[in-house]
Amino acid sequence: MTVYERIELLLDKGSFVETDRYVKHLCTEFGMERKRIAGDGVVCGYGKIDGRTVFLYGFDFSVFGGSLSAANAKKIAKVQDMALKCGAPVIGLYDSGGARIQEGVESLTGFAEIFRRNVMSSGVIPQISAIMGPCAGGSCYSPALTDFIFMVKGESQMFVTGPNVVKQETAEECDKETLGGADVHASLSGTCSLVCENDAECLMSIRELIGFLPSNNMEDAPVHKATDELTRDCHELDNVVPDSPSIPYDIRDIIQPICDHQYFFELMPDFASNIVIGFGRMAGRTVGFVANQPNCLAGAIDINASDKAARFISFCDCFNIPLVVIEDVPGFLPGVGQEHGGIIRHGAKIVYAFTEATVPKITLITRKAYGGAYIVMNSKQTGADINLAYPSAEIAVMGGRGAVSILYREESPKRQAELLKEYEEKFANPYCAAERGYVDDIIQPYETRTAIIRALDCCRNKSISNPPKKHGNMPV
């Protein structure tokens, strides 16, 4: 698609208003004074998505390879400023070769202006980037500063230095796809929020995401008419969690049925698959889900899962989106690689994000909730408002076998088996925690949707604030 075709498909029909269409660059080096094209390779303006105002800019690869000049950097900065003043989301459609070489420092300065506005807009208005072609150098960093990045399979690439530079500097052989294709950023680097099959799917996904989000941090997300029964029993959940604590299951089988019309908009599905994040609606209102995934690494938290969850939690808190946490976690992933890679530092990001968040926070424990992982996954003591549990929930320092092997290592195997049974009777259930008020209610699986909707409704007018400060210092 051309940049205009993309914009037409993204926005409500006939709503696009282009700005600065006559702007031209002022460069006179390398014969550029003879190559002056109206618009200069970037299309800017505003329009509507489902009747709500959004601002956008799109790079036109057919003009100077979509490279950034000082002139079109000013166009983009103007759009960012307008979006911030008007309290509306800003969307960038990237198909850019990076800084315009002919302009040198002028182009680099332009990128700096854009980056600064990305940072100033962070947490104030939603920022979304769509990578719809190759993006090199500085063109990668503005998307990286935005909230969500969409890419197109086989068409999108992002890299700071291209394959030729990599080969020249490191002697490594690679092509654009293996260096920075959509699959690489979706599964390995974690830079990409969602991979789409083509331009049309990418643009429709952005429209869908916008529908879950408020226009700015002073508003709530749009409320849809609740056409799905609020007290709908979900009997399909009664058989999702296996009786054995060692048998995996798909946590989506719990998330999807409790969402309105069983629809869940998952983000980053291929990166850190041991944790699941995304948006759904409950009683017509947007909810952010964070859930351990027993189907991958038994749901244990590792470095990548920590980063993935913490940033999503922080985004939801920025934009007044309640958090629902579905917990089945055996602990943090053990291993030398994890320890040396900084699991302590990265794992601290989750507890920081949950504790800092002031939006309504609901936790449901379906099965395991062990050790430090129980604490960081939105426990009562780190600020959860309502904590629920299934009768199958186990809240303990560790699993029974591990505990008995430490506490009674000198005992005979027969005696250890007896002690294991005793330990499980005491801790392999949620009642001990409920007796102490750490769990507010124990519910049957089929009651999940009703119980969470009621908890969210209870907390809707929640109002708390953190101590006055310039900003916190999250471990990074």
Longest CA pairwise span in the chain (Å) = 90
The yes-or-no answer on residue 41 being catalytic is no
Would you say 136 and 97 are in contact if contact means Cβ atoms under 8 Å apart?
Answer: yes
Residue 461 structure tokens: 């007018």
How far lies 103's CA from each of 46, 98, 100, 138, 179, in Å? Answer: 28, 12, 6, 14, 27
- Residue tagged active-site, from 373, 393, 403, 455: 373
The yes-or-no answer on residue 138 being catalytic is yes
* Neighbouring-strand partners of residue 55: 46, 90
Would you say 398 and 371 are in contact if contact means Cβ atoms under 8 Å apart?
Answer: yes
- Residue tagged active-site, from 190, 211, 371, 372: 372
- Residue tagged active-site, from 66, 138, 162, 278: 138
- Residue tagged active-site, from 66, 137, 280, 400: 137
Residue whose pair of structure tokens reads 């719990």 in the numeric block? 254
The yes-or-no answer on residue 384 being catalytic is no
Angle between helices 138-145 and 105-121 (to 10 degrees): 10
Nearest to 149 by CA among 274, 292, 315, 293: 315
Rounded to whole angstroms, how far apart are CA atoms 178 and 474? 32
Residue whose pair of structure tokens reads 């499980």 in the numeric block? 424
The yes-or-no answer on residue 372 being catalytic is yes
Rounded to whole angstroms, how far apart are CA atoms 116 and 122? 10
Residue whose pair of structure tokens reads 């969500």 in the numeric block? 148
Residue 350 structure tokens: 């989750």
Indicate left, alpha or beta for 415 from its phi (over 0: left) and psi (-120 to 50: alpha). Answer: alpha
Q: Which residues are catalytic?
A: 137-138, 372-373
